Amino acid sequence: MKGTFRNSEHPDSFGARAVLDVAGESFEIFRLQNAVPGAESLPYSLRILLENLLRHEDGVRVDAGHVTALAGWDPRGTAPEILFHPARVVMQDYSGVPCLVDLAAMREAFVRLGGEPGTLSPRIPVDLVVDHSVMADVFGTPDSFARNAALDHARNRERYELLRWAEATFDRLRIVPPNTGIIHQVNLERLASVVIADDTAGGLPALHPDTVVGTDSHTPMVNGLGVLGWGVGGIEAVVAMLGQPLSLRVPRVIGCELTGRPAGGVTATDIVLTLTERLRAHGVVGAFIEFHGPGLAALTAADRATIANMCPEFGATAALFPVDDEVLRYLAATGRPRRHVERVRAYAQAQGLWYDASAAAGIRYSERLSFDLAAVVPSIAGPRRPQDRVPLATARSAFAEAVPEITGGTPRRAEVTAPDGSRHTLGDGAVVLAAITSCTNTSNPALMIAAGLLARKAVELGLQPRPWVKSTLAPGSAAVMEYLARAGLDTYLDKLGFSLVAYGCTSCIGNSGPLPEGVAGPVRASGLASVAVLSGNRNFEGRINPDVRMNYLASPPLVVAYALAGTMDIDLTTEPLGVAADGRPVTLAEIWPAGREIDEVARTAVGPDTYAAMYASLMAGDEQWRALPVHPQQLFPWAAESTYIAPPPYFAGTTARPPALDDIRGARVLADLGDSVTTDHISPAGSIPAHSAAGAHLRGLGVPPEDFNAYGARRCNHEVLLRGLFSNPRLRNRLAAGRTGGYTLNHLTGEITTVHEAAVAYREAGVPLVILAGREYGTGSSRDWAAKGPALIGVRAVIAESFERIHRSNLVGMGILPLEFPAGQNARTLGLSGTEGFDISGVREFSDALPRTVRVTAGSVSFDAVVRVDTAMEAEFIRHGGILPYTLRDFLNPAGMPSETV
């Protein structure tokens, strides 16, 4: 249904305010075409940002200059700085619970400095989905889900009580309980509205685009529905939820034309792995990508969401698919009300946000790319990076080439005992973990139905799962199990070992749970090149499971296939993956489901009631969640004995005025690192090893090893997390004399020690610290603890060849200077050994301006480092020592007055 619009009786300064009538209802909108002639030549993502500026233009924070700068955006000119007010914030518990702890600590500091506690509360809607805590400890049994859920509640009771307190205390905060689903799939299926109807301001209700920032780098998954959103660090999310705008320079916007249609047997996973390879190689870090072209018609909204989900693996900020009929079909199919779907159509068409294939050529893109869907072939990616795509036809040979780096060239063998008591000799490439996990692929019914159909055919032929493989099924929402059950496919997955273990991230975040000891012990002792195959989006080394050496990303049906084969040392395109009951070999081609089979199941098993009824019942939480006590106090009651939750020290000593800035003198290098250092390397998320510094700390507090839980679950206790910094067992620090893991050189003593011990020594001696790194520093998760932790141990600057977008922002948010080596240079070419003392001059210039370079002197080497503080507002964060103290002082300050007057 089309809407009609008319001019508003209350014009704004740009004449954008108008009234849109839809199905007998009237809404206020800020119509781009009224305010900006030629707005249709802007990319869709920038049209959304322009509407956001028009709606928030107040002459104080957002002024006419921001609007005109974006309206006149030149894709080849200087990127203007703008402010962005997201409509809502989404969080998951690993990164979101620390946000609430930060907010609780900020509220205390606010009260200490004379503020009213209720003032410091979210001003826009905030949803926190508890999905990162549950582990796949129990598997392969009918009660795996119930037992893992019970363990989850027992381990995380303190954290969950804090969430219950927060929901009762903070306005506009909603908690989606544990064991409900994965943040991005819940966002896609339930939370996202595409167009928001807002009646909070009085008068006519307003319609505007649904925009979002999330404390998880895969927030762009919702870009598949035309919703502009991206991942931010938790510290930025706190600022956004308090109603503060986010500062950004308008990024490059790359138009990616999709052509052709996928060949039979090619999945959305194959498409996104191929796109990841191409776009990462092309270089799209920090860019917006917009998909258009005739190939859009070949992709369902679920396919588009699968592609958008891996946006951070491309390195981009957002990967937008414009709103079209396919988006409306998805909204209706997932149970959104018909009236709402009509509003989305009318608003998108009135605003020029509806996809117009004929107008694509006239859009001003920074550059244009083309991607042929017909050229995609079945693929996997690994063994350690998502962009390392391998065609399935060459997977065996590629695996063979990768093994020597892990084994040293000597083939390894391990004698293992499977859970059923059988004994087996495993060689390099043995698949010990097969996980259907992650919202990337479980949000896509076609992929999950394909996995179920492949399982059915395998069972009907008598194929048996390999007994040494730990197989798990952890979909992103209960809707998946509902339609698999309706189709009768869940039974066949069960028979192959893929029993439901949880509705959560599990293996994708490193919560795969331990391997059976009869397998884990021999694999660990032998140094076997063991393999995990998972349907996730990340396969960084050391992330998935500590006893797995090689990790491969694959579609859900391929995960089942590799579990049947039990090894990576096989060509699935030609060799049999098992033997049928009658003794004949069975190939993958024989059991791979056809597209028409998948479509037929989807037509009968997937419908609006699948989603609407499921979410209506699950949003209340299970019995254990509802039984948790609620303490609706204005200030959080910290428990001194807690090993999970402690008041963070970020606000200790914070005053109403920012401290004076000074240059950095006599700094020493804590770590000298290479390329592609991930946030997993900096601040691990997986299980806390018993032998680690964090483990020793917990043991000293009386916590038994079986209760250590994961680093991510203890992210609200800085004493634990500080001991985990740079402790990933695969980290390579050039100062560690060849040792991998959390070791470094203590320059004060000349000894190799743990990173934590060295940091304590430097802190006691008053020595500031720097980190040296190569390209793509901070790739991976939006994990703000990868910046919080270094800030707390005294890191003042990170000097790298380049930064991943979110981590750079997190460093600024914690007051750490992100600096880049001069173009074409790095620590090696400059002759730096990492043992020099470092002086950085020009920092004090931040007091008055935003310097573009600072002078770095290290021993006899001097160079001008590029300052990656990108906006004037980010410079303000540096002046205040970070974004959190800046925001605290801003709340103490009369609106619009400079901080110096506080």
CATH number at residue 821: 3.20.19.10
- How far is it, in rounded angstroms, from Cα 831 to Cα 841? 20
What percent of the chain has pLDDT above 70?
98
Residue 4 has pLDDT above 80, yes or no: no
The verdict on residue 706 lying in a domain is no
The verdict on residue 538 lying in a domain is yes
What's the pLDDT band for 3 if we cut at 50, 70, 90? low
Structure tokens at 860: 């006899």
Q: What are the tens digits of pLDDT across the range 629-675?
A: 988 789 999 999 999 999 998 888 888 888 889 999 999 999 999 99
- How far is it, in rounded angstroms, from Cα 776 to Cα 184? 25
Residue 100: give its domain's CATH number. 3.30.499.10
The verdict on residue 55 lying in a domain is no
Report how far apart, in Å, the C-alpha atoms of 347 and of each of 66, 194, 342 are: 24, 10, 9
- How far is it, in rounded angstroms, from Cα 498 to Cα 422? 19
Does 268 lie in the same domain as 410? no
Letter for the amino acid at 5? F
User: What is the SS3 string spanning 267-313?
Assistant: CHHHHHHHHHHHHHHHCCCCCEEEEECHHHHHCCHHHHHHHHHCHHH
- How far is it, in rounded angstroms, from Cα 526 to Cα 828? 35
**Domain span holding position 425:** 391-606
Q: What are the tens digits of pLDDT across the range 517-534?
A: 999 999 999 999 999 999
Query: Residue 131's closest CA among 189, 176, 188, 190?
Result: 176
Q: Tell me the β-bridge partners of 82.
A: 248
Q: Coil, strand, or helix at residue 465? A: coil
Letter for the amino acid at 606? V
Could you identify the residue written with the tokens 């300052």?
A: 867
Does 309 lie in the same domain as 434? no
The verdict on residue 441 lying in a domain is yes
Does 337 lie in the same domain as 440? no
The sign one gets for the Cα dihedral 86, 441, 810, 80 is: negative
- Dihedral class, residue 750 (left if φ above 0, else alpha if ψ from -120 to 50, else beta): left
Query: Residue 219's closest CA among 596, 709, 782, 722?
Result: 782
Q: Coil, strand, or helix at residue 635? A: coil
The verdict on residue 60 lying in a domain is no
Does 417 lie in the same domain as 473? yes
- Dihedral class, residue 271 (left if φ above 0, else alpha if ψ from -120 to 50, else beta): alpha
Q: What is the DSSP letter of 474?
A: -
- How far is it, in rounded angstroms, from Cα 177 to Cα 92? 11
Does 427 lie in the same domain as 532? yes
What is the per-residue pLDDT for 902? 34
- How far is it, in rounded angstroms, from Cα 234 to Cα 222? 19
Residue 747 contacts residue 740 (beta carbons within 8 Å): no
What's the pLDDT band for 616 if we cut at 50, 70, 90? confident
Residue 320 has pLDDT above 60, yes or no: yes
- How far is it, in rounded angstroms, from Cα 382 to Cα 402? 9
Among 375, 406, 425, the domain boundary falls at: 375
Does 431 lie in the same domain as 328? no
Q: What are the tens digits of pLDDT across the range 851-873?
A: 999 999 999 999 999 999 998 88
Residue 898 has pLDDT above 60, yes or no: no
Q: Tell me what percent of the chain is helix, strand and coil, each rounded to the nearest 5.
A: 40, 20, 40
- How far is it, in rounded angstroms, from Cα 80 to Cα 872? 11
Report how far apart, in Å, the C-alpha atoms of 325 and of each of 300, 353, 774 are: 10, 12, 44
Structure tokens at 294: 């005739």
Among 321, 347, 375, the domain boundary falls at: 375
The verdict on residue 31 lying in a domain is no
Among 574, 590, 606, the domain boundary falls at: 606
Does 154 lie in the same domain as 211? yes
Count of CB atoms situated within 10 Å of the CB of 616: 11
Count of CB atoms situated within 10 Å of the CB of 410: 8
Q: Coil, strand, or helix at residue 171? A: coil
Does 524 lie in the same domain as 590? yes
Segment 67-71 mean pLDDT: 93
Cβ within 8 Å of residue 121, ≥6 positions away: 169, 170, 171, 172, 242
Q: What are the tens digits of pLDDT across the range 559-613?
A: 999 999 999 999 999 999 999 999 999 999 999 999 999 999 999 999 998 888 7
The verdict on residue 23 lying in a domain is no
Q: What are the tens digits of pLDDT across the range 409-455?
A: 999 999 999 999 999 999 999 999 999 999 999 999 999 999 999 99
598 burial via Cβ count (<10 Å: 0-12, 13-18, 19+):
buried
Q: What are the tens digits of pLDDT across the range 259-290?
A: 999 999 999 999 999 999 999 999 999 999 99
Does 397 lie in the same domain as 330? no
Could you identify the residue written with the tokens 């005053």?
A: 655
What are residue 570's phi and psi, to 5 degrees?
-155, 145
Q: What are the tens digits of pLDDT across the range 699-718?
A: 999 999 989 988 888 989 99
Q: What are the tens digits of pLDDT across the range 563-574?
A: 999 999 999 999
| Structural domain count of the chain | 3
Cβ within 8 Å of residue 702, ≥6 positions away: none
Rg (the chain; Cα; Å) = 27
Please give the full DSSP string across 309-366, using - where no structure is assigned.
HTHHHHT-SEEE--B-HHHHHHHHHTT--HHHHHHHHHHHHHHT-B--GGGGGGS--S
What's the pLDDT band for 896 if we cut at 50, 70, 90? very low
What is the per-residue pLDDT for 1? 55
Could you identify the residue written with the tokens 């173009």?
A: 823
Could you identify the residue written with the tokens 């980290």?
A: 731
The verdict on residue 484 lying in a domain is yes
Q: Which residues of 518-557 are buried (b: 16+ CB within 10 A; e: fewer)?
A: bbbebbeebebbbbbbbbbbbbbbbbbbbbbbbbbbbbbb
Does 468 lie in the same domain as 330? no
Does 510 lie in the same domain as 418? yes
Does 445 lie in the same domain as 330? no
Greatest extent of the chain over all pairs of C-alpha atoms, in Å: 85
